Amino acid sequence: MVWDLDNTIWHGILSENDQLQLRENIEHTIKTLDQRGILQSISSKNNHEDGMSMLERYGLDQYFLYPQINWGNKSESVKKIKEKLNIGFDAIAFVDDQPFERDEVSFEHQEVKCYDVDVIDNMLGLPEFHPKFITEESAQRRQMYLQDDLRNQEEKETGNNKKFLESLDMEFIISPATVYDLQRVEELTVRTNQLNATGYTYSYEELEAFLSSPNHKLFVAELIDKYGSYGKIGVVLIESKGETWTLKLLLMSCRVMSRGVGTVLLHFVINLARENDKKLFAEFLPTDRNRLMYVTYKFAGFTEVEKLPTNGTLLSHPLAAVYPYPEYIKMKIPTVALKG
């Protein structure tokens, strides 16, 4: 959610020295969106220091990530926010009282959902701002991005990516999913795009059925480092038929893309299939964002076998060797996860 300031979050215009007053219920709205895991930022034409000072006075500055308060085009500000958060334009909503500003953003970024301020009173009741589940990870999402800022700052200061990754003391935990994970798993299938090999989404009920299915294996992954937990950031779904395993879903949260863990889950599946003497296949369904996943499969040794009716591709792996995990990551894989 990207907010304008003047006559949006507050009544009045900051640069004209108006007597500003917070919009009715705006504090409750902002805090509730934050609790629901909806990230928020600012795009406002004002002096940055003045805008932030006023937000701080109202006790709201902490709720906005990468605020863009400047005199440039708001479409450019929205673009910078999108790049900072590493999300798609279709995941962004923009609220502004000025039709010109909404039109300018909409013209440059057609996928951004633009709203007039009259939406604010009923915003919390709209389905697009009311996730089906509010998980532990979603409720902490803003804090997780703030932790990422600390990591990124340390990476810049280190100047050496390998040494930086080693300094994080990362622990990668892979375990069979439980019923307590399913809300987060469903959330990941809906939210994750760039690092989702098929783009398949599954409902809570479908995921729950996989837990008791003798023909499916559902794993979740968590990443922890010295700054704290990233939460559950990866999902694997394997369909088992006799001596054949088919990787139906492989996804990772985009937040960990720069942590050098992109191949860990895939290597886990390859090694697990090899240990259990299974034939391993993987489905890949191209979307407008997940090209990186196809490249990841190819670099891991997968080759195309056939085209699928879904316009996707079925890939196969020879399982000729054990695939190593990065040296700078401590792997934690419960014994139960290794049983075929």
Residues 160 and 76 in one domain: no
Residue at a domain's end among 86, 101, 129: 129
Residue 282 in 3-state DSSP? strand
Residues 291 and 320 in one domain: yes
113 close to 128: Cβ distance less than 8 angstroms:
yes
Residues 57 and 178 in one domain: no
Residues facing 223 on adjacent strands: 172, 231
Residues 84 and 174 in one domain: no
d(CA 188, CA 186): 5
Quote the tokens at residue 142. 């803003």
Specify the pTM: 0.67
Residues 331 and 190 in one domain: yes
Given this model, what pLDDT does residue 193 score? 66
CATH number for 40: 3.40.50.1000
Task: Using CA atoms of 144, 145, 150, 156 in order, give the dihedral in degrees to the nearest 10.
Answer: 140
- The rounded percent of the chain whose pLDDT value lies above 70 is 95
113 close to 7: Cβ distance less than 8 angstroms:
no
Q: How many domains does the chain have?
A: 2
Residues 224 and 77 in one domain: no
- Residue 284, classified by CB atoms within 10 Å of its CB into exposed (0-12), middle (13-18) or buried (19+), is buried
- Give the pLDDT band (50/70/90) at residue 160: low
Residues 148 and 285 in one domain: yes
1 close to 85: Cβ distance less than 8 angstroms:
no
pLDDT at 151 over 90: no
Phi-psi region of 7 (alpha: psi -120 to 50; beta: other; left: phi over 0): left
Write down the number of H helices and E strands in the chain.
Answer: 11, 15
Beta strand 329-332 with 68-70 is: unpaired
Residue at a domain's end among 95, 129, 163: 129
Residues 168 and 278 in one domain: yes
Residues 171 and 45 in one domain: no
Residue at a domain's end among 113, 129, 145: 129
Chain segment 166-186, per-residue pLDDT in tens: 888 999 999 999 999 998 888
d(CA 93, CA 106): 10
Chain segment 266-322, per-residue pLDDT in tens: 999 999 999 999 999 999 998 877 888 888 899 999 999 999 988 899 999 999 999
Residues 204 and 149 in one domain: yes
d(CA 201, CA 8): 35
d(CA 323, CA 321): 6
Reported in sequence order, the residue ranges of 268-327 that DSSP labels E, i.e. its strands, are 279-284, 303-307, 313-317
Residues 77 and 144 in one domain: no
CATH number for 177: 3.40.630.30
Q: Which residue has the tokens 């990866």?
A: 234
Domain that holds residue 95: 2-129
Helices (H), 159-263: 161-167, 182-191, 204-212
Residues 224 and 328 in one domain: yes
Chain segment 233-250, per-residue pLDDT in tens: 899 999 999 999 999 999
